[in-house]
Amino acid sequence: MIETLGCHIYRSGGNLDAIYGGVCARKVVFSVNSYLFFILTALLTACAPKAVSSVAVSVDLPASSAQEVPQVWIDAPLNGATLPFGAVEILSHAASSSGIAQLELSVNGAVIRTDTNPNPAETLSLARQTWLPTAGGTYQVSVRARNTQGEWSAPVSITVTILEPPTATAFPSLTDSPTSAPTTAAPPTIVLVRNSFCRAGPGRVYDEITGLNTGDTAEVLGINQERTWLFIYWPKFKVRCWIVASAAPPETDLSRVPVLAAPPTPVPTSSPTLALTSPPSPAPTSSPTLAPTSPPSPAPTSSPTLALTSPPSPEPTRPIRPTRPPTPTPVSPTATPYKP
Protein backbone atom coordinates (compact mmCIF):
# COMPACT_ATOMS: atom_id res chain seq x y z
CA MET A 1 0.00 0.00 0.00
CA ILE A 2 1.23 3.48 -0.87
CA GLU A 3 -0.26 6.50 0.95
CA THR A 4 -0.49 9.68 -1.01
CA LEU A 5 -2.28 12.88 -0.03
CA GLY A 6 -4.33 11.18 2.72
CA CYS A 7 -5.70 8.58 0.38
CA HIS A 8 -5.04 4.89 0.57
CA ILE A 9 -4.10 3.01 -2.64
CA TYR A 10 -4.24 -0.76 -2.92
CA ARG A 11 -3.02 -3.08 -5.68
CA SER A 12 -5.45 -5.90 -6.22
CA GLY A 13 -5.30 -8.43 -9.05
CA GLY A 14 -3.16 -6.21 -11.23
CA ASN A 15 -5.69 -3.34 -10.86
CA LEU A 16 -5.27 -0.22 -8.85
CA ASP A 17 -8.16 0.59 -6.49
CA ALA A 18 -8.31 3.88 -4.64
CA ILE A 19 -10.19 4.18 -1.37
CA TYR A 20 -10.81 7.75 -0.66
CA GLY A 21 -13.43 9.86 0.82
CA GLY A 22 -15.26 12.99 0.01
CA VAL A 23 -13.19 15.91 -1.05
CA CYS A 24 -9.92 14.13 -2.07
CA ALA A 25 -11.37 12.24 -5.06
CA ARG A 26 -9.67 14.48 -7.71
CA LYS A 27 -6.36 14.38 -5.87
CA VAL A 28 -6.48 10.61 -5.80
CA VAL A 29 -6.95 10.48 -9.58
CA PHE A 30 -3.93 12.77 -10.10
CA SER A 31 -1.83 10.70 -7.73
CA VAL A 32 -2.74 7.51 -9.55
CA ASN A 33 -1.70 9.00 -12.89
CA SER A 34 1.62 10.16 -11.45
CA TYR A 35 2.17 6.74 -9.97
CA LEU A 36 1.50 5.05 -13.32
CA PHE A 37 3.96 7.38 -15.09
CA PHE A 38 6.59 6.54 -12.47
CA ILE A 39 5.98 2.81 -12.91
CA LEU A 40 6.18 3.09 -16.73
CA THR A 41 9.44 5.03 -16.55
CA ALA A 42 10.96 2.46 -14.22
CA LEU A 43 9.93 -0.37 -16.52
CA LEU A 44 11.51 1.30 -19.56
CA THR A 45 14.74 1.90 -17.67
CA ALA A 46 14.84 -1.71 -16.49
CA CYS A 47 14.24 -3.03 -20.00
CA ALA A 48 16.87 -0.85 -21.75
CA PRO A 49 19.81 -3.34 -21.33
CA LYS A 50 17.67 -6.12 -22.74
CA ALA A 51 17.03 -4.03 -25.88
CA VAL A 52 20.77 -3.58 -26.37
CA SER A 53 21.35 -7.30 -26.04
CA SER A 54 18.71 -8.00 -28.66
CA VAL A 55 20.56 -5.72 -31.13
CA ALA A 56 23.78 -7.62 -30.49
CA VAL A 57 22.05 -10.85 -31.43
CA SER A 58 21.24 -9.42 -34.91
CA VAL A 59 24.97 -9.48 -35.79
CA ASP A 60 24.76 -13.23 -36.15
CA LEU A 61 22.50 -12.95 -39.23
CA PRO A 62 23.77 -14.35 -42.59
CA ALA A 63 26.35 -12.24 -44.47
CA SER A 64 24.07 -11.79 -47.50
CA SER A 65 21.72 -9.68 -45.40
CA ALA A 66 24.57 -7.42 -44.19
CA GLN A 67 25.92 -6.46 -47.60
CA GLU A 68 24.46 -5.47 -50.96
CA VAL A 69 24.09 -8.07 -53.71
CA PRO A 70 25.68 -6.83 -57.02
CA GLN A 71 23.30 -5.47 -59.59
CA VAL A 72 24.00 -5.77 -63.36
CA TRP A 73 22.23 -4.66 -66.53
CA ILE A 74 22.97 -4.76 -70.30
CA ASP A 75 22.97 -1.43 -72.16
CA ALA A 76 23.61 -2.67 -75.70
CA PRO A 77 22.57 -4.38 -77.87
CA LEU A 78 18.89 -4.13 -77.10
CA ASN A 79 16.85 -7.20 -76.37
CA GLY A 80 15.45 -8.71 -79.59
CA ALA A 81 17.93 -6.85 -81.83
CA THR A 82 18.91 -8.24 -85.25
CA LEU A 83 22.62 -7.79 -86.00
CA PRO A 84 24.79 -8.41 -89.09
CA PHE A 85 27.23 -11.26 -89.05
CA GLY A 86 30.48 -10.25 -87.38
CA ALA A 87 31.88 -9.16 -84.03
CA VAL A 88 29.28 -8.06 -81.45
CA GLU A 89 30.18 -5.67 -78.61
CA ILE A 90 28.27 -6.23 -75.35
CA LEU A 91 28.05 -3.04 -73.26
CA SER A 92 26.98 -3.55 -69.65
CA HIS A 93 27.08 -1.91 -66.16
CA ALA A 94 27.46 -3.44 -62.71
CA ALA A 95 27.02 -1.80 -59.29
CA SER A 96 27.83 -2.84 -55.72
CA SER A 97 28.59 -0.87 -52.55
CA SER A 98 31.59 -3.12 -51.88
CA GLY A 99 33.05 -2.71 -55.41
CA ILE A 100 32.95 -4.78 -58.60
CA ALA A 101 35.68 -7.39 -59.11
CA GLN A 102 34.66 -9.34 -62.25
CA LEU A 103 32.09 -9.45 -65.05
CA GLU A 104 31.23 -12.69 -66.82
CA LEU A 105 29.79 -13.05 -70.35
CA SER A 106 27.90 -16.17 -71.42
CA VAL A 107 26.22 -17.17 -74.69
CA ASN A 108 23.56 -19.89 -74.64
CA GLY A 109 24.65 -20.83 -71.12
CA ALA A 110 28.35 -21.27 -71.95
CA VAL A 111 30.86 -18.83 -70.45
CA ILE A 112 32.92 -17.31 -73.26
CA ARG A 113 34.94 -14.74 -71.26
CA THR A 114 35.47 -13.35 -67.76
CA ASP A 115 36.98 -9.88 -67.41
CA THR A 116 38.63 -8.56 -64.25
CA ASN A 117 37.90 -4.99 -63.25
CA PRO A 118 41.21 -3.04 -63.15
CA ASN A 119 39.70 -0.76 -60.48
CA PRO A 120 37.73 -3.04 -58.14
CA ALA A 121 37.15 -0.26 -55.61
CA GLU A 122 34.66 1.53 -57.88
CA THR A 123 31.05 0.89 -57.01
CA LEU A 124 29.79 1.38 -60.58
CA SER A 125 31.70 -0.36 -63.37
CA LEU A 126 31.32 -0.21 -67.17
CA ALA A 127 32.33 -3.27 -69.23
CA ARG A 128 32.82 -3.66 -72.99
CA GLN A 129 33.03 -7.33 -73.99
CA THR A 130 33.32 -8.59 -77.57
CA TRP A 131 31.72 -11.79 -78.83
CA LEU A 132 32.39 -13.27 -82.30
CA PRO A 133 29.61 -15.63 -83.42
CA THR A 134 30.58 -18.50 -85.70
CA ALA A 135 27.26 -18.74 -87.54
CA GLY A 136 23.94 -16.98 -87.91
CA GLY A 137 21.00 -17.71 -85.63
CA THR A 138 19.26 -16.66 -82.40
CA TYR A 139 21.40 -16.48 -79.25
CA GLN A 140 20.84 -15.78 -75.55
CA VAL A 141 23.50 -13.44 -74.19
CA SER A 142 23.91 -13.26 -70.38
CA VAL A 143 26.04 -11.10 -68.07
CA ARG A 144 26.62 -11.39 -64.34
CA ALA A 145 28.94 -9.59 -61.89
CA ARG A 146 30.93 -10.50 -58.76
CA ASN A 147 31.70 -7.99 -56.02
CA THR A 148 34.88 -7.82 -53.95
CA GLN A 149 33.24 -9.97 -51.24
CA GLY A 150 32.97 -12.88 -53.70
CA GLU A 151 29.20 -12.72 -54.16
CA TRP A 152 27.78 -13.13 -57.69
CA SER A 153 24.74 -11.30 -59.01
CA ALA A 154 21.87 -13.01 -60.75
CA PRO A 155 22.53 -13.21 -64.54
CA VAL A 156 20.80 -10.70 -66.80
CA SER A 157 19.98 -12.01 -70.31
CA ILE A 158 18.92 -10.67 -73.69
CA THR A 159 18.09 -12.41 -76.99
CA VAL A 160 19.71 -11.31 -80.25
CA THR A 161 19.51 -12.62 -83.82
CA ILE A 162 22.66 -12.83 -85.96
CA LEU A 163 22.17 -12.80 -89.73
CA GLU A 164 23.75 -15.46 -91.88
CA PRO A 165 27.16 -14.57 -93.38
CA PRO A 166 27.03 -13.43 -97.01
CA THR A 167 27.83 -16.11 -99.58
CA ALA A 168 30.50 -15.56 -102.22
CA THR A 169 29.12 -14.79 -105.68
CA ALA A 170 30.46 -17.09 -108.40
CA PHE A 171 31.42 -15.25 -111.60
CA PRO A 172 31.26 -16.99 -115.00
CA SER A 173 34.50 -18.06 -116.59
CA LEU A 174 35.98 -15.98 -119.38
CA THR A 175 35.77 -18.97 -121.73
CA ASP A 176 33.46 -21.95 -121.98
CA SER A 177 36.34 -24.38 -121.93
CA PRO A 178 36.27 -26.50 -118.74
CA THR A 179 40.06 -26.73 -118.78
CA SER A 180 40.65 -22.97 -118.80
CA ALA A 181 43.26 -21.76 -116.36
CA PRO A 182 42.00 -19.82 -113.32
CA THR A 183 42.35 -16.07 -113.37
CA THR A 184 44.54 -16.24 -110.26
CA ALA A 185 47.37 -18.01 -112.11
CA ALA A 186 50.92 -16.96 -111.39
CA PRO A 187 52.24 -14.14 -113.59
CA PRO A 188 54.28 -15.29 -116.60
CA THR A 189 58.05 -15.23 -116.29
CA ILE A 190 60.15 -13.99 -119.20
CA VAL A 191 63.83 -14.06 -120.08
CA LEU A 192 64.80 -10.87 -121.89
CA VAL A 193 65.99 -11.27 -125.48
CA ARG A 194 67.42 -7.76 -125.67
CA ASN A 195 68.63 -5.01 -123.37
CA SER A 196 65.98 -2.57 -122.15
CA PHE A 197 65.73 0.40 -119.86
CA CYS A 198 63.22 0.02 -117.03
CA ARG A 199 61.18 3.20 -116.69
CA ALA A 200 58.62 4.68 -114.29
CA GLY A 201 55.92 4.50 -116.96
CA PRO A 202 55.15 3.06 -120.39
CA GLY A 203 57.02 5.53 -122.55
CA ARG A 204 60.31 7.27 -123.08
CA VAL A 205 58.94 10.41 -121.43
CA TYR A 206 59.18 8.66 -118.06
CA ASP A 207 62.37 8.60 -116.01
CA GLU A 208 64.75 5.65 -116.20
CA ILE A 209 64.85 3.61 -113.00
CA THR A 210 67.33 0.91 -114.01
CA GLY A 211 68.28 -1.27 -116.94
CA LEU A 212 67.95 -4.98 -117.68
CA ASN A 213 70.34 -6.96 -119.82
CA THR A 214 69.70 -9.77 -122.22
CA GLY A 215 69.16 -12.99 -120.25
CA ASP A 216 67.74 -11.32 -117.12
CA THR A 217 64.57 -12.89 -115.70
CA ALA A 218 61.46 -10.90 -114.74
CA GLU A 219 57.78 -11.47 -113.92
CA VAL A 220 55.16 -9.75 -116.08
CA LEU A 221 52.56 -8.06 -113.82
CA GLY A 222 50.73 -5.95 -116.41
CA ILE A 223 50.63 -4.46 -119.87
CA ASN A 224 49.60 -1.05 -121.20
CA GLN A 225 46.51 -0.45 -123.33
CA GLU A 226 48.52 -0.41 -126.58
CA ARG A 227 50.31 -3.62 -125.49
CA THR A 228 53.68 -2.07 -126.28
CA TRP A 229 55.07 -1.86 -122.73
CA LEU A 230 55.20 -4.45 -119.94
CA PHE A 231 55.02 -3.73 -116.24
CA ILE A 232 57.49 -6.19 -114.68
CA TYR A 233 58.92 -7.22 -111.33
CA TRP A 234 62.68 -7.80 -111.34
CA PRO A 235 63.34 -10.14 -108.39
CA LYS A 236 67.10 -9.69 -108.68
CA PHE A 237 66.88 -6.16 -107.26
CA LYS A 238 63.18 -6.20 -106.19
CA VAL A 239 62.22 -3.44 -108.62
CA ARG A 240 58.88 -2.82 -110.36
CA CYS A 241 59.04 -0.80 -113.57
CA TRP A 242 58.12 -0.75 -117.30
CA ILE A 243 60.10 -2.26 -120.19
CA VAL A 244 59.34 -2.38 -123.90
CA ALA A 245 57.30 -5.41 -124.93
CA SER A 246 59.79 -6.28 -127.65
CA ALA A 247 62.32 -7.22 -124.95
CA ALA A 248 60.19 -10.28 -124.11
CA PRO A 249 60.39 -13.44 -126.20
CA PRO A 250 57.91 -13.32 -129.10
CA GLU A 251 56.26 -16.57 -128.05
CA THR A 252 55.34 -15.28 -124.54
CA ASP A 253 51.62 -15.67 -123.82
CA LEU A 254 50.41 -12.27 -122.57
CA SER A 255 46.69 -12.92 -123.10
CA ARG A 256 45.93 -13.18 -119.36
CA VAL A 257 48.14 -10.30 -118.25
CA PRO A 258 45.94 -7.51 -116.84
CA VAL A 259 45.85 -4.15 -118.61
CA LEU A 260 47.16 -1.38 -116.35
CA ALA A 261 46.63 2.34 -116.60
CA ALA A 262 49.71 4.42 -117.16
CA PRO A 263 50.85 6.72 -114.36
CA PRO A 264 50.54 10.47 -114.93
CA THR A 265 52.94 11.81 -117.51
CA PRO A 266 55.71 13.76 -115.81
CA VAL A 267 55.51 17.50 -116.37
CA PRO A 268 58.82 18.86 -117.69
CA THR A 269 60.31 21.55 -115.54
CA SER A 270 60.81 24.86 -117.32
CA SER A 271 64.45 25.85 -117.57
CA PRO A 272 65.41 29.54 -117.52
CA THR A 273 65.40 31.08 -121.02
CA LEU A 274 68.74 32.46 -122.08
CA ALA A 275 68.51 35.55 -124.26
CA LEU A 276 70.78 35.11 -127.24
CA THR A 277 72.55 38.31 -128.20
CA SER A 278 74.48 38.64 -131.43
CA PRO A 279 78.07 39.73 -131.03
CA PRO A 280 78.87 43.23 -132.26
CA SER A 281 79.58 43.34 -135.97
CA PRO A 282 83.22 44.26 -136.70
CA ALA A 283 83.84 47.47 -138.59
CA PRO A 284 84.25 46.70 -142.27
CA THR A 285 87.81 47.01 -143.46
CA SER A 286 88.71 47.62 -147.04
CA SER A 287 90.60 44.76 -148.44
CA PRO A 288 93.16 45.50 -151.18
CA THR A 289 91.93 44.80 -154.62
CA LEU A 290 94.14 42.38 -156.37
CA ALA A 291 94.54 43.06 -160.02
CA PRO A 292 94.34 39.85 -161.92
CA THR A 293 97.62 39.03 -163.58
CA SER A 294 98.04 36.60 -166.37
CA PRO A 295 100.52 33.86 -165.65
CA PRO A 296 103.77 34.19 -167.56
CA SER A 297 103.85 32.32 -170.78
CA PRO A 298 106.39 29.56 -170.68
CA ALA A 299 109.32 30.09 -172.94
CA PRO A 300 109.28 27.65 -175.75
CA THR A 301 111.96 25.10 -175.46
CA SER A 302 113.54 23.57 -178.45
CA SER A 303 113.57 19.88 -178.57
CA PRO A 304 117.12 18.49 -178.61
CA THR A 305 118.25 17.18 -181.96
CA LEU A 306 119.86 13.86 -181.72
CA ALA A 307 122.83 13.65 -184.15
CA LEU A 308 123.60 10.19 -185.28
CA THR A 309 127.34 9.60 -184.97
CA SER A 310 129.26 6.58 -185.86
CA PRO A 311 131.09 4.83 -183.00
CA PRO A 312 134.89 5.55 -182.91
CA SER A 313 137.17 3.04 -184.39
CA PRO A 314 139.15 1.07 -181.79
CA GLU A 315 142.73 1.99 -181.49
CA PRO A 316 145.32 -0.83 -181.84
CA THR A 317 146.85 -1.82 -178.49
CA ARG A 318 150.57 -2.28 -178.02
CA PRO A 319 152.08 -4.95 -175.74
CA ILE A 320 153.08 -3.67 -172.26
CA ARG A 321 156.72 -4.11 -171.32
CA PRO A 322 157.48 -5.52 -167.84
CA THR A 323 159.24 -3.07 -165.48
CA ARG A 324 161.98 -3.81 -162.96
CA PRO A 325 160.85 -3.96 -159.30
CA PRO A 326 162.24 -1.14 -157.07
CA THR A 327 165.27 -1.75 -154.89
CA PRO A 328 164.41 -1.66 -151.12
CA THR A 329 166.16 1.02 -149.02
CA PRO A 330 167.79 -0.26 -145.76
CA VAL A 331 166.28 1.25 -142.50
CA SER A 332 168.38 1.54 -139.29
CA PRO A 333 166.61 0.31 -136.09
CA THR A 334 165.45 2.96 -133.66
CA ALA A 335 164.54 0.73 -130.71
CA THR A 336 166.58 0.89 -127.49
CA PRO A 337 168.17 -2.44 -126.54
CA TYR A 338 166.87 -4.16 -123.35
CA LYS A 339 169.14 -4.03 -120.37
CA PRO A 340 168.44 -6.67 -117.69
CA distance 161 to 82: 5
What is the mean predicted confidence (pLDDT) over 92-98? 92
User: What is the CB neighbour count within 10 angstroms for residue 77?
Assistant: 16
Task: Calculate the dihedral angle through the C-alpha atoms of 198, 204, 206, 208, rounding to the nearest 10 degrees.
Answer: 40
1 touches 9 (CB < 8 A): yes
Binning pLDDT at 50, 70 and 90, where does residue 54 land? very low
Whether residue 24 is predicted with pLDDT greater than 90 in this model: the reply is: no
Of 151-165, 256-270, 299-313, highest mean pLDDT? 151-165
At 325 the pLDDT is: 54
Domain at 71-162, CATH class: mainly beta
Question: Worst-scoring range by mean pLDDT, 3-12, 168-177, 284-293, 308-317?
Answer: 3-12
At 26 the pLDDT is: 44
Binning pLDDT at 50, 70 and 90, where does residue 80 land? very high
Q: What b/e sequence results for 65-76 when a residue is b if at least 16 CB atoms lie within 10 Å of its CB, and e otherwise?
A: eeeeebbbebee
Q: In the CATH hierarchy, which fold is given to the domain comprising 189-247?
A: SH3 type barrels. (2.30.30)
Whether residue 197 is predicted with pLDDT greater than 50 in this model: the reply is: yes
Cis peptide before 77 (omega within 30 of 0): yes
The dihedrals phi and psi of 31, each to the nearest 5 degrees, come to -65, -40
Whether residue 176 is predicted with pLDDT greater than 90 in this model: the reply is: no
100 touches 118 (CB < 8 A): no
Binning pLDDT at 50, 70 and 90, where does residue 22 land? very low
Average pLDDT, the chain: 73
**For the chain, what are the domain ranges?**
2-58, 71-162, 189-247
The dihedrals phi and psi of 248, each to the nearest 5 degrees, come to -85, 155
